[in-house]
Chain A
Amino acid sequence: GAVVSQHPSWVICKSGTSVKIECRSLDFQATTMFWYRQFPKQSLMLMATSNEGSKATYEQGVEKDKFLINHASLTLSTLTVTSAHPEDSSFYICSASAGQGSYGYTFGSGTRLTVV
């Protein structure tokens, strides 16, 4: 089945630094990647949708200059949290779609970000 590898699984960083999270589709080409954020005891909130080779579409309230998304190839999408602050501490999860007509999505294993 379709597998999405997400790294790192957890990261602790100092306030003001940047953190990059990678998601790779291992056995399929991910034309679209979704990035979600989940706070404790909350549901998954969509942050942005990225399509290979084009700019990401951000959801209302998500700062595109703070959460940089790059989807330069069909197998790799990255999310960079720039100038991280403690309120950015959350569980970040990517989800990939293989393209038109694909009904189901595959999720990465998630990245637990803690900003201290």
Chain B
Amino acid sequence: QKEVEQNSGPLSVPEGAIASLNCTYSDRGSQSFFWYRQYSGKSPELIMSIYSNGDKEDGRFTAQLNKASQYVSLLIRDSQPSDSATYLCAVKSRNSGNTPLVFGKGTRLSVIA
């Protein structure tokens, strides 16, 4: 059973702070990793994807991957109230178009103004 684990939160951070979101996965053969943001009542939107060990930065977001530890994280710098949402970690076991994503339960982030 492939599993993706996340702390459900809520994670509360003050505006301007760094928010750190973590995710672990059980399938050691997983190839692709994604972070999605989901606002209440809306469908997920892709924030970051990462495929290799190390860090990947995109604006205020940094994804970190450690395949040996089976660990993925997302850092949000200069957090804004508009970042308040549920963040879903998703893992794909193979890099093919017909492999579904396995989602974690999500971490609810609250950025306090």
A34 part of interface (Cβ distance < 8 Å)? yes
Q: Which chain A residues border B49 with CB–CB below 8 Å?
A: 103-104
Q: Which chain A residues border B102 with CB–CB below 8 Å?
A: 46
Contact indicator B32/A103 (Cβ below 8 Å): yes
Cross-interface CB contact of B97 among A44, A98, A108, cutoff 8 Å: A98
Size category, A interface: 20 to 34
CA–CA, A101 and B94, complex, Å: 9
Closest residue of A by beta carbon distance from B102: A46
Known contacts A42-B105, A43-B105, A103-B49: A31-B98 contact under CB 8 Å? yes
Q: How many chain B residues touch A (Cβ–Cβ < 8 Å)?
A: 23
B101 part of interface (Cβ distance < 8 Å)? yes
Contact indicator B44/A107 (Cβ below 8 Å): yes
Contact indicator A44/B88 (Cβ below 8 Å): yes
Contact indicator B96/A100 (Cβ below 8 Å): yes
Contact indicator A108/B34 (Cβ below 8 Å): no
B81 part of interface (Cβ distance < 8 Å)? no
Closest residue of A by beta carbon distance from B95: A103
A23: shortest Cβ distance to chain B, in Å? Answer: 11
A residues adjacent to B (C-beta < 8 A): 6, 31-32, 34, 42-44, 46, 49, 51, 91, 93, 95, 97-105, 107-110, 112
Closest residue of B by beta carbon distance from A34: B100
**Residue from A43, A99, A109 whose CB has the most chain B CB atoms within 10 Å:** A43
**Residue from B49, B92, B96 whose CB has the most chain A CB atoms within 10 Å:** B96
CA–CA, A72 and B56, complex, Å: 38
B42 part of interface (Cβ distance < 8 Å)? yes
Contact indicator B42/A46 (Cβ below 8 Å): no
Contact indicator A112/B106 (Cβ below 8 Å): no
Q: Which chain B residues border A93 with CB–CB below 8 Å?
A: 43-44
B77: shortest Cβ distance to chain A, in Å? Answer: 23
25 inter-chain pairs at a CB distance below 8 angstroms, sorted by A residue, are A6-B43, A31-B97, A31-B98, A34-B100, A43-B106, A44-B88, A44-B103, A46-B101, A46-B102, A95-B101, A97-B97, A97-B98, A99-B97, A100-B96, A100-B97, A101-B95, A103-B49, A103-B51, A103-B92, A104-B34, A104-B49, A107-B43, A107-B44, A109-B42, A110-B42
